[in-house]
Amino acid sequence: MATFENLLYSLDSASGILTITLNRPAKLNALNAATIEEIREATQQALDDPQVRGIILTGSGEKAFVAGADISELAALNDISGRRAAERGQEAFCMLEESTKPVIAAVNGFALGGGCELAMACHMRVASENARFGQPEVNLGLIPGYGGTQRLTQLVGKGKALELLLTGDQIKPDEALRLGLVNHVVPLAELLPFCEQLMTKILSKAPLAVGLVIDCVNAYYDKEMNGYQTEANSFGHSFASEDFREGTAAFLEKRPAVFTGK
């Protein structure tokens, strides 16, 4: 297993829940190139590990999930290196979005710029009451580069996304909840336990079906795919699974199902 300098990688082998913690508290967990690469490596490691069934992504400390990108590093980029940095960030974040293992962002504190983009790449977002969301890149003469213009529009709609992107305004968690940017808002002390409880509920379902649902929902936003056809193909595929036979048998026999992900 890889070791990380900017992340904490903690797997609960009993539950199968992996917690990845962005761990640069002195920088409010700001994203630099090394951290983005570690996110990519950690995600790949999690996807390859059969013991990992679900992922919770959070930030160290109480002030920030990820307060943004590392500005000192951005200041050294030019048009060519900037485009490459965006491509690497998009690649890493797409791995999270396309993971067939569920990913929940536990957003503690600031989720600004790249931090908001990272949270949006996760399948669900749970925010603490002190969380703040925003894409303030226009204040630096920049735009979001890690998928923010696309995912924010998908989550909150074109008009509100443009307002947030063009003003650089931050919003509080109650507004984020109203807009559909987050799924739940909880007190900070309850954030990780709530996410673990939500993940445990998801992991009690058939793993193959969970992964197929994620694929189908993602297909809706992929211009190169037919979401309805993806759903039909996946629906048919699920009938060939052992989990389908177990799930239907358990229902008919009025007992809890024991899924194996096969």
- Report yes or no: 117 and 97 within 8 Å, Cβ to Cβ: no
The residue behind tokens 């580069």 is 145
Q: Which of 5, 38, 73, 117 is catalytic?
A: 117
Three-point CA angle 215, 102, 43, nearest 5°: 95
Question: Around Cβ 246, how many Cβ atoms within 10 Å?
Answer: 16
- Give the separation between CA 66 and CA 220, rounded to whole angstroms: 28
**132: how many CB neighbours lie within 10 A of its CB?**
20
The answer to whether residues 115 and 65 touch, using CB atoms and an 8 Å cutoff, is yes
Q: Which two tokens stand for residue 169?
A: 């305004």
Q: For the chain, how big is the Rg over CA atoms in Å?
A: 19
Chain-centroid distance, C-alpha 109: 16
> Which has the closest alpha carbon to 31: 139, 147, 123?
147
Strands 103-107 and 64-66: unpaired
Task: Go through 77-94 and write b for each residue having 16 or more CB atoms within 10 A of its CB, e for each that does not.
Answer: beeeeeeebbebbbebbb
Q: What is the DSSP string of 104-120?
A: EEEE-SEEETHHHHHHH
The residue annotated as part of the active site, out of 5, 62, 137, 163, is: 137
Phi and psi at residue 188, in whole multiples of 5°?
A: -55, -40
Active site residue 137: yes
38 is catalytic: no
Known catalytic residues are 117, 137
